[in-house]
Amino acid sequence: MLQAIETSGQPLAMGEATPIRIRNLTLSFGTTKVLKGIDLDIGAGEFFAFLGPSGSGKSTLLRAIAGFGPRPSGEILLGERNVIGLQPWKRDVGMVFQSYALWPHMTVRQNVAYGLEERRRPAEEIRRRVREALELVGLDAYADRYPSQLSGGQQQRVALARTVVIEPKVLLLDEPLSNLDANLRVQMRQDLLALQRRLGITTIFVTHDQEEANTICDRIAVLSDGVVQQVGEPDHVYDQPANSFVARFLGTANILDGRVIVRDGACRFVLDERSAIPLQGSHGEGEASFVLRPRGLEFADDGGGELAGTIAGSEFLGDTIRYFVEVGGRSLLVDEVHRRGGDRRAAGTEVALRVVPGQGVVLTR
Amino acid sequence: MAALSTALPRASFGQRISWGPLTAALGILLFLVAFLILPVAMVIYVAFTDPGSGELTLANFMDFFRSALFREAFYNSFYVAAMSVVLATVFALPLAYITSRFNFRGAVLIQTLGFVPLIMPPFIGAVAMQLLFGANGSVNLLLRDWFGITIPFMEGLNGVILVQSIHYFPFILINLSASLRNIDRSMEESAQMLGSHGMRLFRRIVLPLAMPGYIAGASLVFVKVFDDLGTPLLLNVNTMLAPQAYLRISSVGISDPMGYVISVILIVCSIFAMWVSISAMRGKDYSTTQKGGGGLSKRDLGALETAGCYLVVLALLAIVLAPHIGLLLLSLGTVWSFSVLPDGFTTEHYVVAVNKAWPFIKNTLIYAGIAALIDVLLGTAIAYLAARTTLIGRKWLDYIAMAALAVPGVVLGIGYLRLFYSVDMPFTGAPLATWWGIIVIALATRRLPYALRSCSAALQQVSPSLEEASENLGAPKVRTVRRIVLPLMAAGLVAGFVTSFATAAVELSATIMLVARESDAPLAYGLYLFMQSAAGRGPGAALGVITVVIVGLATYFAQHLVEKARREQSASAGSH
């Protein structure tokens, strides 16, 4: 097993952490608008994620912060300084590339020393800091190897060391885990978190994998179509999606279209003439969507469910069984906990469904 | 278990000796031994043998290095080859850099015109270069009129260096451009992010990453120039190794050991340069492009910069295309001597060329056609045996065939003369070495590596699962190859044929050794004869222009075909 990133020890002093503020950032490739007025505030020392599907603009936004790609309009403030128009080599922004971008003609040591050499640091200081950076990622024994002689995980660590050794103001990670195999990915994301906490550096992590973003980031920004859809802590964004895109992109969701009706102070979400779901709290009347995770529905075998349907099929997911239930022409997903020896409900069975109180979210349209 | 193997008698097919491939492999091996290994071995053996006693000795090599003439020839060959690499680099580097770093419309111009020199044998252009750059050529006449100076572009070794570097610089351009294209943008961006930019970034990151490609191209140029016979011969520069070997054999005779000693030196240097090229590439597959990453970032140019780039590109292209321009002028000019341009223009030379040169043209079409056909057949067979069978030593067929690249044409010619002069033809009783068929075989052997690489590349694009699907549906091996493999390889095979044909049509160095009578001579030899006399130059140039056009068109269509096939295959692969 690889030696893990050095996670113990005191926080390393890297100077004051830098907050990032992005104001009305717009960017086009030719005539195609890729970023459409982005506003974001990322706190000093925060571990922040850009989460979105491919083509959402998340990588373009990250590259714009680093100074790559077409020149955007708007503001990117690193601390107090607007860096728009500043050359990449003058920004003091550290980026770890998806491909790692290690130079194959240089050894690990030479790769890591590069940024310090460009900053004309004294040889003695370079030697010391390179050693420290490699110790930090647990690769001090590999300093004289070439990148091609390292495994994918080790290359990733070298790329990290090469970036943090220059003590950048902010650390940008472009899908850093996508080229690793599944087990290593789980290990590495904890290592990344530990490293970020130890360095205390403002970090942005770009990913399309919600699990990665949820597990390690303080806050996430969900991007789609060049627009920030929602910003918040992972569990908040998951539980209170701002719109149906966010609801679908973070996890699986049933999204039902209908109307909110208020009668005698009680709110109800009406699907059609036969089905209505009581809502908690107060809502305005009108057209709305109702977002419900598969766990938010349960089978009302004892009677009294709000919805009636027929089992259309099921998938065995291990700890749960996911049922596809036909309800008035819609297909709803319902997860039921699986226990050893439990029977599966057969397709064609008539069932009643109950909405677990408090589990649904109403999105007004 | 027993029931199963009776029910499925074909299950054990793989373990049986398959006679078809084995016979084919032995046949190919026989060809390669007879026409490549034995002639070369013979040359090496004679070089180490005492001509009188027949004993093994190093005396011939001592004689070689004791002779001032040979030492000078040795030095000159090295000097010319090295300087040609330097000059070719001067031509190639700006062109490669401009196309890979800037959004520059002229890039298309470079990509098309930059490769034109390769389709003309250098010795054809040599005469035209004399008229343009010689002591009394157009350029020096103008320089004398305007500035009162002349520059000895074409004096002695200078002329060889100029002609060779103009001809071979595309090898560096192709390899260097490919290397630059294969550098992923993130390589550059990560350096920028760490604080590097401009020339420093180029020197520390871009240049080292492009180096293997450059060295591969440069060593190829070195070998080609070092081995070339036609250009120095036509420029009347005889104190170089290849001309010395030719002159020794053709004037002193095939028993003189010096020609063989020179051949061994040529082979050793070729192998050394190839070793340099291979070790430059080994373990340094710096091709770093990622999916969708694309090459180095290209920058837009300002108006002034664009103008500057065009100036550099057009100036270089003017130099590089000078042989073609000169040849065209020569073919259309009445008298061209001591003047900047020909005195008048005429199409007469073309009429003369076609009338007088028809036998040469006919011979070339036959020789190069048969040679290219042999190459494609052998190439396909070798590629298939190496990639798709389990014969022991199957890769060696490929290696041996490719080794022909390291054998200079002069050496192969000398080997054939020595080996086949004592073998009599059936019926006629004339020596086998004087038969026209031996020229065809020499051409086929020399150009086999080109066809083989085409065929291998084409075969690699045919996934084995396509074959397995055919066999699974009941088609036996031979029918599978005929109905599935060959149709899918077709474009690559045609490209292989055309490459072999086009390069064989202008081959001179082995041909010149093996042509026994003028009626058997091919075009390249005919051109050589025409260019020897002042009166023959016009028709010779016309013949040269015709050759360049034919070879150029053939190359263009071959490229076009391969590109089209590649696009279609990648399109169908992408639709999965």
Tokens matching residue A345: 């409900």
A11 has a pLDDT exceeding 80 = no
Minimal C-alpha gap between A190 and chain B (Å): 24
DSSP state of B428: T
On whether any CB of chain B is under 8 Å from the CB of A98, the answer is yes
Q: Per-residue pLDDT tens for A68-127?
A: 888 999 999 999 999 998 888 888 899 998 888 888 888 999 999 998 988 889 999 999
Under an 8 A CB cutoff, do B290 and A91 touch?
no
The domain tally of chain B equals 1
- The region of weakest confidence among A108-122, B126-140, B259-273 is B126-140
Which residues on chain A are in Cβ contact (under 8 Å) with B286?
A: 104-105
Specify the CATH number for the domain of residue B129: 1.10.3720.10
Minimal C-alpha gap between A85 and chain B (Å): 14
Tell me whether residue B448 is in a domain.
Answer: yes
Please determine, for the modelled complex, whether the ipTM score is greater than 0.90.
Answer: no
Measured CA distances, B63 to B40, B54, B58, B259 (Å): 21, 16, 9, 12
C-beta atoms surrounding B215 within 10 Å = 21
B8 has a pLDDT exceeding 60 = no
B293 has a pLDDT exceeding 60 = no
Nearest CA in chain A to B185: A101
Q: Which residue has the higher pLDDT, B535 or A233?
A: A233
Q: Per-residue pLDDT tens for B98-116?
A: 888 788 777 777 777 777 7
What's the rounded mean pLDDT across residues B15-35?
Answer: 82
Among candidate residues B379, B403, B574, the one with its CA nearest the CA of residue B492: B379
Partners of A51 in beta bridges: A207, A222
On whether any CB of chain B is under 8 Å from the CB of A301, the answer is no
Band of the pLDDT at B287, cuts 50, 70, 90? low
Minimal C-alpha gap between A225 and chain B (Å): 20
Tell me whether residue B177 is in a domain.
Answer: yes
Under an 8 A CB cutoff, do A101 and B194 touch?
no
pLDDT of residue B572: 55
Under 8 Å between Cβ of B416 and B438: yes
pLDDT of residue A5: 57
Measured CA distances, B547 to B34, B327, B368, B446 (Å): 31, 11, 13, 20
Element (H, E) at A32: strand A32-42
Tell me whether residue B276 is in a domain.
Answer: yes
Among candidate residues B225, B221, B202, the one with its CA nearest the CA of residue B213: B221
pLDDT of residue A78: 93
Under 8 Å between Cβ of A285 and A259: yes
Q: Of B184, B196, B293, which is closest to A118 when you measure between CB atoms?
A: B196
Tell me the residue ranges of DSSP E strands in B89-131. Answer: 102-103
Indicate which of B193, B215, B287 best probes the interface with A, i.e. most A CBs within 10 Å of its own CB. Answer: B193
On whether any CB of chain B is under 8 Å from the CB of A52, the answer is no
Tell me whether residue B55 is in a domain.
Answer: no
Which residues on chain A are in Cβ contact (under 8 Å) with B190?
A: 95, 97, 101, 103, 162
pLDDT of residue A105: 84
What's the rounded mean pLDDT across residues A37-49?
Answer: 94
Under 8 Å between Cβ of A306 and A299: no
pLDDT of residue B74: 92
Under an 8 A CB cutoff, do B194 and A162 touch?
yes
A270 has a pLDDT exceeding 90 = no
Q: Per-residue pLDDT tens for B328-343?
A: 888 888 777 767 777 7
What's the rounded mean pLDDT across residues A333-343?
Answer: 88
**Residue linked to tokens 């089905």:** A275
A38 has a pLDDT exceeding 90 = yes
Could you tell me where in chain A the CATH 3.40.50.300 domains are found? Answer: 2-245
Q: Per-residue pLDDT tens for B483-498?
A: 888 888 887 888 888 8
What's the rounded mean pLDDT across residues B160-183?
Answer: 86
Percent of chain B with pLDDT over 90: 12
Under an 8 A CB cutoff, do B184 and A91 touch?
no
Nearest CA in chain A to B198: A89
Among candidate residues B288, B523, B412, B423, the one with its CA nearest the CA of residue B36: B412
Q: Which residue has the higher pLDDT, A29 or A1?
A: A29
Q: Which CATH superfamily is domain A2-245 in?
A: P-loop containing nucleotide triphosphate hydrolases (3.40.50.300)
Under an 8 A CB cutoff, do A114 and B196 touch?
yes
The alpha carbons of chain A give a radius of gyration, in whole angstroms, of: 25
Which residues on chain A are in Cβ contact (under 8 Å) with B204?
A: 114
Q: Of A93, A103, A104, which is closest to B193 when you measure between CB atoms?
A: A93
Angle among Cα A250, A221, A358 to the nearest 5 degrees reads: 45
Which residues on chain B are in Cβ contact (under 8 Å) with A67?
A: 192-193
B5 has a pLDDT exceeding 50 = no
pLDDT of residue B338: 66
Q: Average pLDDT, whole number, for chain B?
A: 81
pLDDT of residue A3: 47
Tokens matching residue A100: 């790692």
pLDDT of residue B120: 76
Among candidate residues B326, B325, B343, the one with its CA nearest the CA of residue B334: B343
Backbone phi and psi for residue A290, each to the nearest 5 degrees, phi listed first: -120, 120
Tokens matching residue B65: 């290095």
What's the rounded mean pLDDT across residues A313-338?
Answer: 91
Could you say which residues from 197 to 256 on chain B have a Cβ atom under 8 Å away from some Cβ of chain A? Answer: 197, 200, 204-205, 208-209, 211
Under an 8 A CB cutoff, do B189 and A97 touch?
yes
Band of the pLDDT at B569, cuts 50, 70, 90? low
What's the rounded mean pLDDT across residues B144-170?
Answer: 85
Most confident region among A102-106, B261-265, B470-474, B522-526 by mean pLDDT? B261-265
Tell me whether residue B53 is in a domain.
Answer: no
- The region of weakest confidence among B59-63, B70-74, B244-248 is B59-63
What's the rounded mean pLDDT across residues A271-300?
Answer: 86
Partners of B77 in beta bridges: none
B431 has a pLDDT exceeding 80 = no
pLDDT of residue B7: 38
Among candidate residues B446, B438, B436, B435, the one with its CA nearest the CA of residue B416: B438
Q: Of A99, A103, A115, which is closest to B205 when you measure between CB atoms?
A: A103
Q: Determine if the pTM surpasses 0.80.
A: no
pLDDT of residue B576: 38
Among candidate residues A169, A167, A95, the one with its CA nearest the CA of residue A125: A167
| Beta carbons within 8 Å of B541's beta carbon, 6+ residues apart | B127, B128, B327, B328, B330, B331, B349
Task: For residues A15 and A18, give the distance between their C-alpha atoms in angstroms, rounded to a whole number.
Answer: 9
pLDDT of residue B295: 62
Helix (H, G, I), strand (E, B) or coil at A350: strand
Band of the pLDDT at B199, cuts 50, 70, 90? confident
pLDDT of residue B283: 61
pLDDT of residue B382: 92
Element (H, E) at B299: strand B299-300
Under an 8 A CB cutoff, do A101 and B208 touch?
no
DSSP state of A345: P
Could you tell me where in chain A the CATH 2.40.50.140 domains are found? Answer: 258-364
Measured CA distances, B349 to B323, B345, B357, B362, B521 (Å): 18, 10, 11, 19, 20
Q: Which residue has the higher pLDDT, B302 or A362?
A: A362
Tell me whether residue B49 is in a domain.
Answer: no
What's the rounded mean pLDDT across residues B352-376?
Answer: 88
Most confident region among A77-81, B254-258, B496-500, B553-557 by mean pLDDT? A77-81
Percent of chain B with pLDDT over 70: 92
pLDDT of residue B12: 39
On whether any CB of chain B is under 8 Å from the CB of A120, the answer is no
- The region of weakest confidence among A35-49, A189-203, B173-187, B547-561 is B547-561
3-state SS string for B453-517: HHHHHHHHCCCHHHHHHHHHCCCCHHHHHHHHHHHHHHHHHHHHHHHHHHHHHCCCHHHHHHCCC
Domain that residue B410 falls in: 17-43+74-287+300-519+533-569
Q: Which residue has the higher pLDDT, B290 or A21?
A: A21
Minimal C-alpha gap between B193 and chain A (Å): 5
Tell me whether residue B50 is in a domain.
Answer: no
Minimal C-alpha gap between B187 and chain A (Å): 5
Nearest CA in chain B to A87: B192
Band of the pLDDT at B286, cuts 50, 70, 90? low
On whether any CB of chain A is under 8 Å from the CB of B190, the answer is yes
What's the rounded mean pLDDT across residues B394-421?
Answer: 87
Task: For residues B569 and B492, give the distance between their C-alpha atoms in angstroms, rounded to a whole number.
Answer: 12
Backbone phi and psi for residue A49, each to the nearest 5 degrees, phi listed first: -120, 140
Under an 8 A CB cutoff, do B288 and A104 touch?
yes
On whether any CB of chain A is under 8 Å from the CB of B294, the answer is no
Task: For residues B381 and B28, give the distance between their C-alpha atoms in angstroms, rounded to a whole number.
Answer: 8
On whether any CB of chain B is under 8 Å from the CB of A65, the answer is no
CA B233, B238, B241, B247 dihedral sign is: positive
B4 has a pLDDT exceeding 50 = no
Task: For residues A222 and A249, give the distance between their C-alpha atoms in angstroms, rounded to a whole number.
Answer: 9
Band of the pLDDT at B3, cuts 50, 70, 90? very low
**Residue linked to tokens 């800091």:** A129
Nearest CA in chain B to A69: B297
pLDDT of residue B148: 78
What's the rounded mean pLDDT across residues A228-249?
Answer: 93
What's the rounded mean pLDDT across residues A27-48?
Answer: 93
Residue range A258-364, CATH number: 2.40.50.140
Under an 8 A CB cutoff, do A115 and B205 touch?
no
pLDDT of residue A358: 83
